[in-house]
Amino acid sequence: IKTLGVLTSGGDCAGLNAAIRAVALHARQTYGLRVLGILDGTLGLMDRPLRYRELHAEICDGRLLREGGTVLGTTNRGDPFHYPMPDGSYLDRSPDFAEGVRELGLDALIVIGGDGSMRIVSRLCAVAGIGMVGIPKTIDNDVHGTEYAVGFSTAVNVVVDALDRLQPTAASHHRVMVLETMGRDAGHIALNGGIAGGADVILIPELPYTLDGVARRIREVLAQGRSHALVVVAEGVRTEQGRPVTDQLSGRYGGIGQYLVDEIAQRTGVETRATILGHVQRGGTPSARDRILASSFGVRAVELAAEGRFGSMVAWQDRGVVEVPMSMVTVGARAVAADDPLIQTARGLGVYVGEA
Residues that bind ligand F6P (CB under 6 A): 11, 76, 138-140, 182-184, 235, 282
Q: 231 with 259: CB under 8 angstroms?
A: no
As a residue count, the chain comes to 356
Closest distance to ligand F6P from the beta carbon of 191 (Å): 14
Q: How many CB atoms lie within 10 A of CB 279?
A: 10
Element (H, E) at 77: none
Cβ 140 to ligand F6P, closest distance in Å?
Answer: 5
* 254: phi then psi, degrees, rounded to nearest 5: -100, -5
Q: Which is nearer to ligand F6P, 107 or 115 (CB)?
A: 115
Which residues have CB under 8 Å from 320's CB, separation 6+? none
Closest CA to 190 of 257, 120, 107: 257
Question: In a 3-state reduction of DSSP, which class is residue 134?
Answer: strand
**Residues forming the annotated binding site for substrate?**
138-140, 175, 182-184, 235, 273, 279-282
Of the pair 5, 145, the CB lying nearest ligand F6P is at: 145
Which positions are catalytic?
Answer: 140
Q: How far is the CB of 182 from ligand F6P (least distance, A)?
A: 3
Q: Are 181 and 165 in contact (CB under 8 A)?
A: no
Question: By C-beta, is 100 or 286 nearer to ligand F6P?
Answer: 286
| Residue nearest ligand F6P by beta-carbon distance | 182
The nearest distance, CB 102 to ligand F6P, in angstroms, is: 31
Strands (E), the chain: 3-8, 34-38, 52-54, 83-84, 90-91, 108-113, 131-136, 176-181, 201-203, 229-234, 272-276, 312-317, 320-325
Q: Which residues are annotated as a binding site?
A: 11, 77-78, 114-117, 138-140, 175, 182-184, 235, 273, 279-282
User: Which residue lies nearer to ligand F6P by CB, 11 or 197?
Assistant: 11
Is the CB of 155 or the CB of 218 nearer to ligand F6P?
A: 155
Across the strands, what pairs with 312?
A: 133, 325
Shortest Å, Cβ 184 to ligand F6P: 4
On whether the CB atoms of residues 316 and 152 are closer than 8 A, the answer is no
Question: Bridge partners of 87?
Answer: none
